[in-house]
Amino acid sequence: MPLSSTLWLAAVLTYGIGDLVTTAVGLRHTQIEEGMPFARQLLGEPPSAWGVVRFGLFKIVLFAAFYLGAVAMARFAPGTRVDLLVPLAITVVGVAAVGNNVRVIRQVRGRGRGRGRRRHR
């Protein structure tokens, strides 16, 4: 598998699926709320299953835009490594988002229920 394909797969697994799943799991705890205002609107108040679906659909559209942008930039700037840089940047953001989500979930689980709300972003 070419390196760019591997990086796109990593981006989808971390930022696409990993962030979506850890966000959904985190929002099952009443003490956790989404910290990003736009994502909070997509998820709904209170967060719902349909909101998670909307958030997932938004991520699909975002990935399509990133991919098409990377393809266009590679065409207009041959010799650059846009094909690697774009998915690498998305993967780094995904790893940070998943790590932060897991950290907040563990903190809430460790201290019990009913002790204030934490934003997970």
The residues, any chain, with a CB within 8 Å of residue 108's CB and separated by 6 or more, are: 26, 29, 31, 32, 118
The amino acid present at 39, given as its one-letter code, is: A
Using pLDDT thresholds of 50, 70 and 90, give the confidence band for residue 112.
low
pLDDT at 77: 83
Whether omega for the bond prior to residue 46 falls within 30 degrees of 0, making it cis, is: yes
Is residue 83 domain-resident?
yes
For the segment 5-23, the average pLDDT, to the nearest whole number, is: 97
Q: Are 87 and 70 in contact (CB under 8 A)?
A: yes
Phi first, then psi, for residue 101 (nearest 5°) are: -60, -45
In a domain, 56, yes or no: yes
Say how many C-beta atoms besides its own lie within 10 A of residue 64's C-beta: 10
**Quick one: pLDDT at residue 119?**
62
pTM of this structure: 0.85
Average pLDDT, the chain: 90
Residue 115 lies in a domain: no
pLDDT band at 102 (very low <50, low <70, confident <90, very high): very high
Is 120 a domain residue? no
* 92 within domain boundaries: yes
Residue 118 has what pLDDT? 57
pLDDT digits (tens, 9 = 90+) for 32-75: 999 899 999 999 988 899 999 999 999 999 999 999 999 999 88
Residue 78 within a domain: yes
Share of the chain above pLDDT 90, in %: 69
Residue type for position 5: S
Q: Give the residue numbers spanning the domain of 68.
A: 3-110
Number of domains in the chain: 1
Reduced to 3 states, what is the DSSP secondary structure of residue 82? helix
